[in-house]
Structure 1
Amino acid sequence: MRINRSAPIATVIPVLTYPDVRAAVAWLTAAFGFEERVRVGENHRSQMRFGDGDLIVADTGSHRSPPVPDQVVASVMVRVEDARAHFARARAAGASIVMEPTDFEYGERQYEARDLAGHLWTFTETIADVDPAAFRH
């Protein structure tokens, strides 16, 4: 695969739509710790990075619409080092918390939050190495 320094490097790149791209970039930086990589136009599109993952923040032009309140058609899962610390940052920045940090039997600690446009995010921290065979039925 060729490299283009102007394009995200992740293999899978979610594209989320926001009514105000600049506000979304500022909020995702403050609340979730993303970093803006590339800005395309003032309020058209932004490439953001978290660890080795990428995200495109897109405007509502053309065929794209923002989320509908109280409906989830897609969500984003992000791996973090410390879910409790990340949760505290997100809550302090005004994220709408859907689920507080919870430890699950499959070895992950997760919390869920909605961003300023209503997109659902799950942040996950690995707390144990669990054999997948334990969940086969």
Structure 2
Amino acid sequence: MQSIYPVLRYPDAHAAIDRLRSAFDLTLHELHEGPDGVVRHAQLGYRGGLVMLGTGPAPTVRPADDDYRLYVAVDDVDRHHERARAAGAEIVRPPFDTDYGSREYVARDPAGLVWSFGTYRP
């Protein structure tokens, strides 16, 4: 069972949810809006893992391309990368093989956060 849950904030959480779902194949598990329609809390998942998100300010500093904020283990990196690219995700680094046996790629989300996807499972 997962014990650590990243929490992300996006100026337009509805748009971020749509982009994360289409580009990174995440599924919506929960969505809670305030009376004003603003996302107060949402949960997006991928194969048993969850991230939580809501409406809030964008990061004040754009992370460097190699400053990963999230890592997601996927079975087929090339297929996942192609989906993300086709959905318009900003690809920071296309698929590559690591010296520790993982195949990975790196993308930036709508708020500028850097996500890494790979076959390595800690």
Query: Do they fold alike, i.e. is TM over 0.5?
Result: yes
| C-alpha RMSD of matched pairs (Å) | 1.6
Which has the larger strand fraction? 2
How many Å apart are 1:68 and its aligned residue? Answer: 3.4
Structure 1 gaps, min length 5: 1-8, 127-137
The equivalent of 2:81 in structure 1 is 87
Give the TM-score of the pair, scaled to structure 2: 0.86
**43, 47, 51: which is aligned to 1:55?**
51
Q: One-letter code of the match for 1:103? A: D
Judge conservation of contact 1:24–1:57 (CA < 8 Å) in 2.
no
Larger RCO (CA within 8 A; separation ≥ 6) = 2
Give the TM-score of the pair, scaled to structure 1: 0.77
Q: One-letter code of the match for 1:91? A: R
Supply the distance in 1 between the matched residues of 2:9 and 2:104 (Cα, whole angstroms).
24
Q: One-letter code of the match for 1:120? A: V
How many Å apart are 1:17 and its aligned residue? Answer: 0.8
Supply the distance in 2 between the matched residues of 1:110 and 1:74 (Cα, whole angstroms).
12
Correspondence list, 1:10-21, <5 A = 10-21=2-13
Larger Rg computed on CA atoms = 1
**Deviations 1:82-128 (CA, angstroms, capped at 9, x unpaired):** 000000000011111111100011010010000111110000014xx
Supply the distance in 1 between the matched residues of 2:17 and 2:75 (Cα, whole angstroms).
22
The equivalent of 2:98 in structure 1 is 104
Supply the distance in 2 between the matched residues of 1:125 and 1:74 (Cα, whole angstroms).
16
- Percent of paired sites with the same residue: 35
Judge conservation of contact 2:26–2:44 (CA < 8 Å) in 1.
yes
Q: One-letter code of the match for 2:44? A: M
Structure 2 gaps, min length 5: none
How many Å apart are 1:70 and its aligned residue? Answer: 3.2
1:23 maps onto 2:23 in alignment? no
**Deviations 1:12-38 (CA, angstroms, capped at 9, x unpaired):** 100011001111111111000111111
Q: Which aligned runs of 4 or more in structure 1 are off by greater than 3 angstroms?
A: none
Judge conservation of contact 1:97–1:113 (CA < 8 Å) in 2.
yes
